[in-house]
Amino acid sequence: MLRLLYILTLDLKELSCVLTVMNTTFDDFTPCWRNRLVQVESNIFVLITAGRLHYRLNGEPYTAQKGDLLFIPKGTLREAYNAADTLHQKYAVFFSGTLPGFELPFLIRSRYHVQSVEPLDPFKACFHSMYRCSLDRSEGSRIMQLGLFIQFLGMLDRRLKAPPLPKRKKIFAAHIEDYIAAHYRESIPLAQLARLIGRSPNYTLALFKEATGVTPLDFQIRLRLKAAKDLLENTSMSVSAIADELGYCDSSYFNKAFTRHVGLSPAAFRARVSPGAEPGESWHGDEMHRPWG
């Protein structure tokens, strides 16, 4: 508590002198992606959210994959490129300094380090929010990006010090995941999931969130949106037909949900991934690919 009060007594300029976030980037399945060999000029956290890619760090090869959190310290000789058989998706945060008043050994390593983060979704959401803040260079967005980075450090510290999830809870969570994956187009009341594992709704909700980092409803929404992206990219179904296919009784609600979670409307997402999109629907959104991570 005293350490938190110490942080709160620092004004923004004083804190930013100690901990600075320079940029957050996003690479989204970019063909021919490559980082040439350079000595990096800042510390970097890289979160791999899909696929694989190859790194060479101070001459050592490493294949990074989904769920890996890579810490690359300033001064590291880094080269990176796509794997031969798959593309990748990742976020990278460039920063310097540390957080005063806290012991965070993972910020002062002199050698690169890999940590598997599970559940991945909370970390991915935090990195995505940092990325969106980085697109707006206003002072307010810079403050938010710094706050989100501090939140990430807290999440990581808690993750590293947390005891492993008991096997029985993992089994329950996996059972719920499998059920939702098989029925995500339907309405799934929490009480129904609770009956599935023979526990109370409150216990079921807490257990699932502890195991996965998200609520059962959030997990269901993400499965629906994943299916929606696939249908938008690979079929000519209308947006209203896709909404109906995925269990949304109101296509306008589907539009709002898709836009809120993806950052694009369904039509804009289809225009982005479809080579034959009309010029008026071309992609003008946030997720530019800057190959710095």
Domain layout of the chain by residue ranges = 2-161, 167-281
Per CATH, which fold does 167-281 belong to?
A: Arc Repressor Mutant, subunit A (1.10.10)
Q: How far is CA 284 from CA 92, 104, 128, 233, 289, in A?
A: 22, 39, 18, 17, 12
Using CB atoms within 10 A of its CB, is residue 249 exposed (0-12), middle (13-18) or buried (19+)? exposed
Sequence-separated (6 or more) residues with CB below 8 Å from residue 251: 239, 240, 243, 244
Estimate to the nearest angstrom the gap between the alpha carbon of 218 and the chain centroid: 14
Give pLDDT tens digits for 244-286.
Answer: 999 998 889 999 989 887 778 999 889 887 655 443 333 323 3
3-state secondary structure 187-215: CCCHHHHHHHHCCCHHHHHHHHHHHHCCC
pLDDT number for residue 263? 75
Instruction: Assess whether pLDDT exceeds 90 at residue 153.
Output: yes
C-alpha dihedral sign at 97, 101, 107, 108:
positive
Distance CA 246, CA 235 (A): 14
Contact criterion met (CB below 8 Å) for 152 and 130 = yes
Which of 131, 133, 127, 134 has the alpha carbon at shortest distance from 151? 127
**Can you name the CATH fold of 2-161?**
Jelly Rolls (2.60.120)
**Amino acid in position 242:** I
Q: What residues are paired with 44 via a beta bridge?
A: 72, 94
At residue 103, the pLDDT reads 79
- Asked if the domains at 2-161 and 167-281 fall in one CATH topology, the answer is no
Query: Exposed, middle or buried: residue 176 (CB in 10 Å: 0-12, 13-18, 19+)?
Result: buried
- In whole numbers, what is the pLDDT of the chain averaged over residues? 85
Q: pTM for this structure? A: 0.65
pLDDT at 92: 98
